Amino acid sequence: MTPPAVIFHHAIISKISILTVDNPIMTTTNFVLDTFLRYLQLNFDLIKSKKMGNQLENKIVIVTGASKGIGAGIAKQMGAAGAKVVVNYASSKSDADAVVNEIMQAGGTAIALQGDMSKQADVKALFQQTLQSFGRLDALVNNAGIYEFALLEHFSEDSYRRIFDINVLGILLTSQEAVKAFGDHGGSIINISSYAGNRPDPYSLVYGASKGAVNSITTSLSQELGSKQIRVNAIQPGGVLTEGVQKFGATAESEPVKQMISKSALGRMATPADIGKMAVFLASDQSAIVTGQFIEVSGGYK
C-alpha cells in the first residue's frame, strides 16, 4: 500500500506543476514543498519502523526467576520490545528454554542461564556470563522470589530464611553486581515487590515482611545510585493468576480468585504480560527521569 505521505506528495506536486511553467516563484515554491514532503516521508518511514517493538532495541536485560509466571511474562515482553534477554532460572531448565524459544521464534534474542540468586557465587557467574555473551548490561529485573503463606502459629525459622534469602538477600547481591556491569552509561534496576509489602494479609506475615524490605531497598538504592545514572524502581503486582497460584488449586472460577477479582476496580486479575509491559517502560528511555517509585499493577486492587 502506498504510504499517505507519498500520495499527498504526488497529489500536491501534480497540481503545482501546472502552475510552475516559466514561473520562478512557483518553481521555488515547488522545490520547497517537495523538500518538505520528502522530509515528511522520511519521518513517516521512521515512525513506521520505530514500532512499539523497538523501544528496547540494543538493550541487554537480565530477568531473574524468569522460567515461569511473572518472570516469564516479563522476559517475553522485554524480548518483544527488542531487548536481548537473559532468562535466569534456578532449577527449571526446560521451562527457561521454552521461554527462550518463544522469544526467539518471535524474532528476538535470548539465552537461559542457571543460578540461585541467594548464592553470591551463582550471582557473580550470572553477570560474568551475561557480559561475555553480550558485552554490556542495561537493565536488571529482580523477579526471583518465593512465597509461603502461613499464620504466626505455623511460622518457622527455616521458612523465614528461605524467603528472606531469595526475596531480600538475592536483590542485594544482584544489585551489587549490576552496578558494576552497568558502567558509566548507567542503567535501570526494577524490583518486583508486591502490594503485600504495604498492606499484607494476615497469612502473608513473612512474605509481606520480605516485600516491605524490598520497598526499603528500592528507596535506599534509588538515592545512593542516582549519581551514577542508575534508576531503581519497584513494581507492586496485585493478584496475578500464574502457575504458582494455580498449583494451590486456584482457577479463574475458584472462590479465592473470585474474591480477589471482586477487589479489583477493573474487575480482573493482572496477567504476567501486564507486569511485563510496566517493566518494559521502566527499562526504557521513556522513564529516564523516573526513580525511587513504586508502581502498583493490580487493576486498582483494594
Catalytic annotation, residues: 207
The cell for 140 is: 536488571
Distances (CA, A) of 204 to 119, 160, 275: 24, 11, 21
A 10 A CB-CB count for 226 gives: 14
The cell for 276 is: 511485563
DSSP3 helix / strand / coil % (the chain, rounded to 5): 55, 15, 30
Per-residue DSSP letter, 102: H
Q: Are 186 and 229 in contact (CB under 8 A)?
A: yes
Q: Residue 299 and residue 244: Cα distance in Å, rounded? A: 20
Rg of the chain taking only CA atoms, in angstroms: 24
How many angstroms from the chain centroid is the CA of residue 267? Answer: 24
Spatial CA neighbour of 233 closest among 191, 272, 274, 193? 191
Q: Are 198 and 236 in contact (CB under 8 A)?
A: yes
Q: Residue 252 and residue 250: Cα distance in Å, rounded? A: 7
Q: Are 210 and 161 in contact (CB under 8 A)?
A: no
Spatial CA neighbour of 291 closest among 204, 192, 187, 155? 187
